[in-house]
Structure 1
């Protein structure tokens, strides 16, 4: 099934005004690119960095003393999206080079769960969620551009992103949805009746129904976001869906996406050869299951750039970044 066509955005009066997103602490990890951050039940934060290590950070929200950083495993590739499995004894890892992995947190053992789909090698796994029935859904951002040329896919607007499903005990995933614009973060509904998929290249969130008469259908969940959504995180059914905005809206890019494919391909070739530097505009959003914005936090001149993930840990927000060499700790907003 292909992704739904966009529709005119709807903005309701219930959407709160943006509030400041101000990192209180920047925690260096000595390695670049903690692209995704997830929190366990004890408030510890797990992340994967550019050199392939999976790290666990303890004490991020405590006193000013440096938190403890523990190496749990090495994937042998480039870890991106993470998902803790029940009881926090194992971790799903979307590795941009090796596919969908399972990491034993006690031993550090790494096992490949899936590295191809329909005979095609998984090039760019991005994010995963594990559901209560034992199935795993995960995204592939692009079938044309690898991670080191991610900006080429954003510019070319290829629409080759996919949502895949791996059934319990299977080694071959199935394609649930294709035609996505740089498929990225995933989060389940509180009752697991649908998934929310971030489409970075389209600045939208897409809802994919899992149960009921509309099972298998996709529709817009939130459109015309103020930035490019990256990883999604939900700490539990009672919590909101947190959305990291990796970059602000770029009006010239919106115009380019309406140009002919040949024009976009030419622009993409130029983009991958041009040194990239993110802006100082960062942001995060929080949604409920009805698609209502609960929180909108933003900053225009942040020292911490390119926020690709956000999670809650011990009453704080922790930000990850594909660009930075550490994570940022921020205050969590009060409910409105």
Structure 2
């Protein structure tokens, strides 16, 4: 028997089949997402909602001019510098010093080249910690060898304070050696991800613990979740104790005191902003937003004029804004069984580095960038000294410099 369908009935049947096919594909994808580990390697994570200033409110305050001056920067050091993060000079002006991915703090000596100044872990050994020619070893063994991120000299004593991601707050004398542990936990909670620090003239040290959930090796999870377990801590050398100054920070990162110590800046990377904590005057204890940014900030450093350089991975987009306010969508996206690099490329698009200079009131004074990433790529810190800017480029294993025009 031959069946004959009217045009309308056939169209309805075809639409029904299409709907069923889509439903089957969606159900299969959901099952695969539930079964397969996904790009996060089976890690259990719990995305949360967090608020960042909308780009439409930030960009009008951000100059649109793009002169890409940083394309004229110079790569100073590249060979065997695996993961230089923070840049520092000692009280005598020697340096730069920087912390590496193999657990060493090294310094540049013009007559001798790079030499090991200090180790952040007593467990450091050549077999497990020496990178050789394979920088991937720095990640595999950094929990043993240490991962020095923040570096600051105390100008009075010449001691170097170190924020080591795995070993907490450390200190080493002017002659270097193996650093001495100072703080590894605060209020009974271990320091899981020490990141940056600054030394107050009274000797106390302010430093950040990026997350109480994730360590440095899994730092991307802090942003993926949007969690806010980061802390700002303060160590008192007179008592040997440390206290929590701020809690509830979303990826607590760079720290910088004002030149008169009236306030302190702390970077909140996930929320794309820099916060100001007043330490003196009528506003003591008050926390306010210093600057909302178009991208993800890392460290903040002061220059000799009392202005602040912020290293920014630029720029965030509308997709990232939507995901920050819809954790269920983020949860779904990061369970799709494709390589994490694919997702990050789609979500993050092409990122480039920006060095932004602010005055003490949070007003933008200058913007330096290299949009094509010809020279400067993913900077972690901007350090100005005698009209010359130094960049720690943690991912691309180089230290770059730029002469301010």
- Same fold judged by TM-score > 0.5? yes
Q: Report the equivalent of 1:35.
A: 85
Note the residue ranges of structure 2 that are not aligned, 5 or more in a row: 1-49, 122-145
Shift of the alpha carbon at 1:206? Answer: 0.4
- Show structure 1 runs of 5+ residues with no match: 60-65
2:385 is the alignment partner of 1:313: yes
Match of 2:273 in 1: 204
Using the alignment, how far apart are the partners of 1:88 and 1:54 within structure 2?
18
Equivalent position of 1:256 in the other structure: 323
Q: What's the TM-score, normalizing by structure 1?
A: 0.86
Give 1 or 2: higher helix fraction. 2
Q: State whether residues 75 and 398 of structure 2, in contact with CA within 8 Å, keep that contact through their aligned partners in structure 1.
A: no
Task: Indicate conservation of the 8 Å contact 1:155/1:257, yes or no.
Answer: no
How many pairs are equivalent? 321
Match of 2:116, SS?
A: strand
Per-residue CA deviation, residues 189-237 of structure 1 (Å, 9 max, x unaligned), is 12111101111111111000111222112110111x122110111244x
SS at structure 1 position matched to 2:312: strand
TM-score, length of structure 2 as denominator length? 0.72
Verify the 8 A CA contact 1:16 1:294 in the aligned structure 2.
no
1:21 is paired with a residue whose SS is: helix
Closer/same/farther in 2, CA of residues 163 and 44 from structure 1, 3 Å limit: same
The alignment's C-alpha RMSD in Å is 2.9
- C-alpha distance in structure 1 between counterparts of 2:171 and 2:241, whole Å: 15
Q: Quote the residue 2:103 is aligned against.
A: 52
Higher RCO, Cα 8 Å, sep 6+ = 1
Aligned 1:1-336 pairs, distance under 5 A: 9=57, 17-19=65-67, 20-22=69-71, 23-41=73-91, 42=93, 44-58=95-109, 68-76=113-121, 77-87=146-156, 89-223=158-292, 225-236=293-304, 238-260=305-327, 262-265=328-331, 267=333, 274-275=340-341, 279=350, 281-303=352-374, 304-333=376-405
Q: The residue matched to 2:274 in structure 1 has which SS? A: strand
Computing the radius of gyration from Cα coordinates, the structure with the larger value is 2
Q: Kindly indicate whether the alpha-carbon contact (under 8 Å) linking 1:153 and 1:268 is maintained by their aligned counterparts in 2.
A: no
CA-CA distance at 1:266 after TM superposition:
5.4
Q: How far has the Cα of 1:242 moved from its partner?
A: 1.0
Q: 1:271 to 1:82 in 2, by over 3 A?
A: farther
Change (3 A) 1:267 1:95: farther
> Where is the strand percentage greater, Structure 1 or Structure 2?
1
